[in-house]
Every structure is written in structure tokens, then in C-alpha cells.
A = this chain, B = another copy of it.
């Protein structure tokens, strides 16, 4: 029985991967459109692969170095010869996350042109392709996550045994390496990717549009592909790695907490030798996979229908299936009721229903935080209209309003998060908080599919524009894209909420592993840790914002160099200037010059520059995230490290919400002007003074929402995971 359940996790992981390959093949065999569309698509896909290639080149060294350090220190400190296996887990975790990113990006950059092509036929077909493209990312993340975790657990438990709590904890302790590996890739994908995408954006914009006078998306602009790649890097691979980390972290953290139940008679006497609470997170995640797969079949829309409703239906059905399956699993696997006496002599009572309620809390709060995010950042909502109003008096008031909206938007998500923490604890103790996080993340498969659908639709719209397709195609992709903006906002909120809960779960696991029963906030070392921790999100954000500036500068230099050094590009730019950028005035000689320049821009060089810059700039924030907990833990002790984690989590969540939402709100305030925004009864359009003010706000918000804000999700979790990894050495 134990091994059946143990094998369920890797098997369900494989199931997800099978469906992923089916969806992937389905996307690939769609019509890729005409020759021009295919060329645009190929450029983006090549750029994305160039990025991954360059990134993985550096990553390999990083992963090997950390694996060696990890293995040696575990070997030197470990009380048996197998503890170096943590470095194997680490490598596998890193590989799984990187692989999920690779597959997701690969399909997303195929799905974009195919979505455009499908939109020539019908809205329903276009939605299908875009969503299937996203589903590959979603199923890849949960499939590789659960397969990796499940099979490693199965292998290591064979090594260490599952007879005692100590042995199970030893097994999970080795497994934390998997989570650490996933976090490392997430750091590269989110922080590096965030720097990458904004550097490319600014480079393409400033030199291309402002200096050379060609549109941002013009094929002669060497940075344009990097810019399009950047969207995929940030919103597909970045988001995927972020959720992969949360998914894995929450499961492992809850397994650690669950091990504490092993010695409770009600568990120990069960068929599964007390392992039920340890295995439940894996089972819940597995049920989520099945639910997500079924849910994907319900994402359908007819011509003239609402794609949002289709996505909602899929998610709703997945949620209902997940809850039903989970209820069955919880009541089957867990005793109906039991109680635990903690070290203070207090008795906490548990019930299997309570565990289920905790999962429910997690699911609801995750969705709730997402919808609140949509309220603060969505087009036409009261807060965003407020920013639009303030644009009338210039960019300064626009920016003050955006900062205020971002800060104010922290309130409700935090109240909801606190309610989830207290509620799930009330019903199921610390284990409840853990399983709530697992519940929140169980449906990551379909959740991430919906998230990744956004940038695919966004790209599809751009391709329709560039390829000059008929108006109704663009209308259909716009409809998909508009929904994509909403899902992106919700996804960002969800990512922050799940990061916070995951960090808390890892925190609890850290305490248990470090044998801490209590971290007294009034202990001055803990207080100092708290302050230091609360400072880090500010420092980290400053580093990543400044990094964007420097990386953008590198990109600007490279684009200028290509314009000066590549004769065909230079000639074409001069010709275009001469013709006043009016294609209809091109003479046959002009056209010859233009065609000669086509494809001469060295996209890959720009992609490489941006990648190199982003990886270089990532070193400092990365080191802060990895080294601070190590230094504080060994110099100040486990309790001070606990204070540090509490500080970085609490302040980090606020800064993440603040920056993401301020950026999102500015972005949509600007967008509102593009379609005509009403301020005090007057309609202002693109190019008006208030619109220009709103553009400044949007530019300020770019690094906020795409670099520093989302990077904090990683900071929280990575520091917690590093603490968990070093916890055994701190006892």
C-alpha cells in the first residue's frame, strides 16, 4: 500500500507529461501561416533558443559549482556517507525546472504564429491553439515537478528507510536539494529574465524608435527580436520557473511538517506506517494534475463568445474535481481525528475534515488574491481611473497616484492571506498552513496554462499586425489578448500569494529541521534579523532596477554599433529616412536596398548581449539571496536566521505586491488613453498631454512590474530554501 501510493506521484507526473506531449504535438501540427509569418515566428523562436542556450551555458557552471559545494559540505558534516546525495537532488531539480522552461518556451514560440493563423478561421480555434500552447508549459511544470519529487522520494526512502521519523526526515532533507535546484533556476529565469526583457525593451525602443526613426517591431531593428523574446522569457519561462519553485517548495515543506505526525498512534498504526501525512501533499498534487488535465478539455469558445468565460469554466471544473478528489483522499488517508501534545504541553486536535478545510482556504485565498490584483490594475477600474485622472496635471501626479495605488493595493491581499493563515491553522495546525499552500498550488497545471496563454495571444496579435493580416484577424487576437491581460494580472497576484505561503511553509519546515520550537521576536538577535530581513527586499529591488538601467545601456551600444557597422543596415536606414518612412514612396532601387538589408541585423548578437548583461547583473542579487542566510545562520544562529526569514517574507510580500500592482496599474492607465480615456468629461487620446504623462508612468512601472517586483517572489523562497538546506548544520 505504501509503495502504491508512493508510486502514484511519479506515475501521475508521467501522465501530465504524456498529455503535455499530446498538446505539444497538437500545436506543432497546426498551420504555421504564410511565409512572412513563419519568418517572424522563426526569428522569435531562434532568439528564444539563443537566450536559453546562452543562459544554460552559464547555468551549467553554476549548478556544478553549487552541487560540488553542497555535496562536499553535506559529506563532511553528514553522519552517514549518503548525505552527499543532496547534490544529486539539486542537479535533478535544476534540470527539471530548466527542462520545463525549455519545453514551455519552445512550444509558446510555435503557438504564437499558429494562433494568428487560426484566428484567420475562427475565435474558437485561435483560443484553442493559444491555450494548448500555455497548457504545455503548465503540464510540463507540474509533470516534471511531481515526477522528479515523487521518484526521488521513492528512491531515497529505499536508501534511508521510512521506519522512523528520523529516517523520513533524512529522506526529505536530501529532497530539499531538489527544491534548491528549482529555486536556482527560478532565480536565473525571473531575475535574469526580468532584467533581460526590460533591457531589450528599452534598447529596441530608444535606439530604434527614437534615434533611427523606425518602429519598435521593425525587422531592421536588431533588438526587436530580443524584445519579443523578452516577453516570452518573462511571462512564460519566468512565471513557469516561479510557480515550479512554489509548487515544489510547498510540497516538500508540508512533507517535513507531516513527518511530525509519524509517532502519533492513529498514524503509526495505519497501513502506511505513519507516512500518510508525509505522502498527502504528493497525492493532492497528483489529484490536481488529473483535475487540470480534465479542466483543459472544457476551455472552448464559439465565435462571438467570451474567451474569459471559457478559461473560467476550465478552471472552475478543475477546482471542483480537485476538491472532490482531495476530499476523498484526505478522508481515506488521514484518521478521522487525532491530537498532538506540543512541547508546551498544549494539546491540538486535528480532524480529516479540518485538513480538507485548510486546502479549501488555500484554494480560495489564492484565487481571491488574484481577483483583488485585477481590481487594482485592470483597465477601467476605480484605482486605474484615478491614475488616468491624475495624468491631467502631468507625469509627477500620475506617478504619485500610481505609487499610492500600488501601496494601497497591499491591504486586501494581506488581509486575505492572514485569514488563510489563521483559518488553516485553526482547522489543521501548522500542517494546515502547509497543506493550504499545496491546495493553492495543486491546480498549477491549468493555472499556468491560463497564465502562459496571455503572452502567446499577445505575440499572436503582434504577428498579425506585422504580417498585415485582415482586420477581423486582429480583432479576434485582440479579444484573446484583452483576456490575457486580465489573466496575467490575476496570475501575478496568485504567484505572489503562493510565494508567500510557500515561504511560510518552508519556514515552518526550517524550524522543525533546525529543532527550533520557538523564535522569540523580542530576542534582540531575532529583532536584528527581522530588520535585516525587511531591508533585503528594498536592497534587492534597488539592485535589479539599477541593473535594468545598465543592461539597457549595453543593448543601446550594440544596436548603435550594428547600425554603424553593417553596411546594408546603414544604407537601408538612410534610404528610409530619405523616403520619409513612407513605404509607398520607395522606388525600385529603394526596395532593392531594403530587401538587401533584410535579415542582416544580427538578432542573435543582441540576444546574447542582453543575456550576458542580465546574467552579469544577476550575480549580486543572487549572491545576496544565497549568502545572507548562510552568514546569518552560522554567525548569528538559527533563531536570528528565523528572524531574517520573517523579515524578508513580510516586507518582501508587500514590496512585491506594491511594485507589481503599481506597474500594472500604470500600464493599463496608459492603455486607457490609447483607446480614449475620459477625464472630467473630456476624452483624451493617444498623443495628448495626459497620455504622454501616462507613458512616463508606464516606463517607471516597467522594471517595477517585470523585474524587481516578481524577483522578490524568488528572493523569499530561495532564502527560505537555503535556510532549510543548511538547517541540519545549525542544530
Residue ranges of A at the interface with B (Cβ–Cβ < 8 Å): 206, 390, 393-397, 399-401, 403-408, 410-411, 414-415, 417-418, 421-422, 425, 430, 433, 504, 507-508, 511, 516, 518-522, 524-528, 530-535, 538-539, 541-543, 545-546, 548-549, 642-643, 646-647, 650-651, 653-654, 658, 696, 699-700, 703
Contacts and interface: CB of A to CB of B under 8 A. Distances in A.
A395 B696 contact: yes
29 contacts: A206-B393, A394-B699, A396-B699, A397-B549, A399-B696, A400-B548, A400-B699, A400-B703, A401-B549, A403-B545, A404-B541, A406-B542, A407-B538, A407-B542, A415-B532, A417-B531, A418-B528, A421-B524, A430-B522, A518-B518, A520-B520, A521-B521, A521-B526, A531-B650, A531-B653, A534-B534, A650-B650, A650-B651, A696-B696
B504 A527 contact: yes
A534 B655 CA distance: 10
Nearest to A508: B522
A703 B396 CA distance: 11
A353 B527 CA distance: 24
B410 A521 contact: no
Given A516-B522, A651-B651, 7 more contacts: A396-B700, A397-B699, A401-B546, A414-B532, A414-B534, A521-B646, A535-B654
Copies, count: 2
Contacts of A411: 535, 538-539
Contacts of A508: 522
Contact of A643 (B407, B521, B532, B651): B521
**Interface majority SS (helix, strand, loop, mixed), chain A:** helix
A372 to B, nearest CB: 13
B518 A418 contact: no
A637 to B, nearest CB: 12
Contacts of A543: 408
Contacts of A653: 531, 534
Given A405-B542, A407-B539, A399 B700 contact: yes
A425 B399 CA distance: 42
Nearest to A500: B531
Contact of A549 (B390, B421, B525): B390
B408 A539 contact: yes
B410 A539 contact: yes
Contacts of A642: 521-522
A696 B519 CA distance: 45
Contacts of A406: 542
A698 to B, nearest CB: 8
Contacts of A699: 394, 396-397, 400
A206 B425 CA distance: 53
A725 to B, nearest CB: 19
A550 to B, nearest CB: 11
A521 B699 CA distance: 39
Contacts of A651: 534, 650-651, 654
Which are the 8 A-B pairs with shortest beta-carbon distances? A396-B699, A408-B542, A418-B528, A425-B524, A407-B542, A534-B650, A407-B538, A414-B535
Contacts of A394: 696, 699
A519 B522 CA distance: 7
A331 B396 CA distance: 56
Nearest to A699: B396
A198 to B, nearest CB: 10
A538 B409 CA distance: 9
Contacts of A400: 545, 548-549, 699-700, 703
A548 B403 CA distance: 13
A383 to B, nearest CB: 10
Contact of A538 (B520, B546, B646, B658): B658
Nearest to A526: B521
B414 A531 contact: yes
A406 B522 CA distance: 28
A518 B518 CA distance: 9
A654 B522 contact: no
A268 to B, nearest CB: 25
A539 B401 CA distance: 13
A671 B30 CA distance: 60
Contact of A696 (B396, B646, B647): B396
A45 B410 CA distance: 41
A701 to B, nearest CB: 9
A518 B522 contact: yes
A159 B539 CA distance: 51
Contacts of A538: 407-408, 410-411, 654, 658
Contacts of A433: 524
Nearest to A429: B524
A49 B417 CA distance: 47
A526 B646 CA distance: 11
A305 B325 CA distance: 82
A525 B422 contact: yes
Contacts of A532: 414-415, 418
A524 B422 CA distance: 6
Contacts of A425: 524
Contacts of A542: 403-408
Contacts of A703: 400
A651 B653 CA distance: 11
Nearest to A507: B522
Contacts of A522: 430, 507-508, 511, 516, 518-519, 642
Nearest to A422: B528
A407 B394 CA distance: 24
A650 to B, nearest CB: 4
A653 B527 CA distance: 13
A287 to B, nearest CB: 26
Contact of A421 (B417, B430, B527, B658): B527
Contacts of A528: 418, 421-422
A404 B546 contact: yes
A653 B548 CA distance: 26
A321 B390 CA distance: 53
Contacts of A533: 650
Contacts of A408: 538-539, 542-543, 546
A254 to B, nearest CB: 15
A397 to B, nearest CB: 7
A471 to B, nearest CB: 33
B696 A530 contact: no
A528 B519 CA distance: 15
A414 B511 CA distance: 25
A337 to B, nearest CB: 20
Contacts of A395: 395-396, 696
B549 A418 contact: no
Nearest to A521: B519
Contacts of A527: 421, 504, 646
